[in-house]
Chain A
């Protein structure tokens, strides 16, 4: 275990955590406002990556890929909320089965459209390359992911805590009925938050396609990570999603490096421990 090992693994863990934050913050927000456990959230991530891929193939523009992925999936997410999930208020099991149904449909459609081969989006040349500093080597693309996650995290935090819309969202999270009563259009907030959550996940999918790639099965592979993040951090809590992603990113990386055969175990065992001590997660409320 050299210093290089610790520096590299910590850096990789933090950058993976940054990617997870993009995915999990949306899941957490959606849960906060709508109490929906969205099992199609991993599908948004995967589909975002695929849409980005197609855009890169056509136009060669990475920025356009990010925008298109987020936009297309925002529309998909809003359609799911408006046309289907809204019919099942408060029915946890029904919502779960429905979002699974969508996840299966998305998986099959992706296979139909993009085939079974794995692809990767090559990042623009200014993000390629490696930075060397002291004992560590830091790929610029991973630094970029961390910067993006910090910027988006800060923007979400500022928007939720300091703007009028943010205050309306928080009101809807705290007590939807009361919020509706004082004239906040909660259904519209739900729609917007669902779109935003899907867009964040898809954005993460395009970014992730730069180093994880995008391939069939990515949806159900990434989904448990998002779940562990929000379980550890606490459902509906933005700071929880931040701390949770960082923790899960680090645990996953060190687990894979130190105990490759038990890597999933090293991720989930701490989750179980946190739950045993604090069933609502680190930042969750009852």
Chain B
């Protein structure tokens, strides 16, 4: 099923990989950002698009992983595998803990609870100064040394690294979405009561989706800490969660490729607009309102299906 989006996605990945060596460093870093943010957006899509759970605290998992990498890499000189595993595990554990509270709730309550839980992480990042350095953030996070001929410190090798990571995450999440587990999630999105009547453990499926989604957000956070070399409360703040939500809504929830496209649009828009004007937030706000009014099912959703 859905052969076309996959083909388009693969073509986009190959095209990005082929064009990359020809690009100056600024567009290249933007493309790297897109790749990382695409992972974050796709991870949220598992919750929002496939399971129908709108999380407003997704930056929490992204951020805890980024902080884990930041602290381990600067204070312990931890290497590639330690950082990767610690970051993803910590994010997964955070999601496993928060999920216990959040999954009990539905609809509006779910939104508000995930927002509040996200703020817990923000509050810790901001106030637990002895661990996180508070508002100053953790600077000088080194990129890992993979013992390859190319150092990841240079933009081009790191771009390929991020692109490969994004492709792997896409493949993994796509497989998940098409698996019986993913189909059950979609069933829950459409009708929880019906799935329960069919004998599915709805709570467990939602909980697992929540945890898996958090784990992949953590994967994006690990990449982000390496890419940015700097971790601060900005990475866990509400606006980051909300931007991720917009990426998914903009691209089209429940499509994976859509949120990745949404991530690309937002990253480029953000960077280009902020070159010309300081009023970035004003424009971003207008984008939110415009998307909701004119393309409520996202760009891909609006393109793909005629009116239901």
Contacts and interface: CB of A to CB of B under 8 A. Distances in A.
A135 B199 CA distance: 63
Contacts of B286: 101, 105
Interface residues of A, number: 48
Given A101-B289, A264-B119, A276 B127 contact: no
Interface residues on B, range: 35 or more
Interface in B271-295: 279-282, 284-289, 291-293
Contact of B291 (A84, A97, A111, A280): A97
B238 interface: yes
A92 B120 contact: no
B46 interface: no
Contact of A264 (B48, B124, B281, B282): B124
Interface in A119-177: none
Nearest to A273: B101
Nearest to B106: A279
Interface string A215-256: 000001001100110110001000000000000000000000
A91 B56 CA distance: 15
A28 B116 CA distance: 16
A93 B281 contact: no
Given A94-B296, A101-B285, A105-B286, A264 B120 contact: yes
Instruction: Give the most central of A88, A97, A98, A269: most B CB within 10 Å.
Output: A97
Given A235-B109, A275-B105, A100 B115 contact: no
Chain A facing B: main interface SS? helix
A35 B127 contact: no
Contacts of A231: 109, 112-113, 116
A104 B281 contact: yes
A260 interface: yes
B191 interface: no
Interface of A: 31, 35, 37, 39, 84, 87-88, 91-94, 96-98, 100-105, 107-109, 111-112, 220, 223-224, 227-228, 230-231, 235, 260-265, 267-269, 271-272, 275-276, 279-280
